[in-house]
Amino acid sequence: MIGLILSIIVIGLIAGALARLLVPGKQNLSIPMTIALGIVGSFVGGFLGYLIFHKDASQGFLQPAGIIGSVIGAVIVLVIWLRVGGRRSVSNR
């Protein structure tokens, strides 16, 4: 169980960091937020992969396609986060 939790955190960190490298612009995210971004992105990527290909992770947790899906999902979540977060800015008029 501890191994699963650690692997989720490590893959979340890798997917979140790669997403932050792929999306242009400045992202004010801490390391824990980057891990959370990667973990949420993994769920989004897995869900989209299931919707498109109708397959789940029954063949193993760590697969190259799963990691790529995690990065794609993290990029989607990061872009949505930046769009929603950008609207909350306060203007001084």
pLDDT at 43: 83
pLDDT at 63: 64
pLDDT at 84: 85
Taking only the tens place, the pLDDT of each residue in 30-81 is 888 888 888 888 888 877 777 777 666 565 555 666 778 888 888 988 898 8
The pLDDT of 14-43, averaged and rounded, is 86
40 near 16, Cβ under 8 Å?
no
The pLDDT of 73-90, averaged and rounded, is 78
pLDDT at 93: 54
State the Cα–Cα distance between residues 57 and 51, nearest whole angstrom.
13
pLDDT at 9: 82
First and final CA of the chain: distance in angstroms? 53
Q: Is the pLDDT of residue 3 over 70?
A: yes
State the Cα–Cα distance between residues 65 and 63, nearest whole angstrom.
5
State the Cα–Cα distance between residues 17 and 56, nearest whole angstrom.
24
DSSP 55-86: --GGG-S--HHHHHHHHHHHHHHHHHHHHHHH
In this prediction the pTM is: 0.75
Task: Give the 3-state secondary structure of residue 27.
Answer: coil
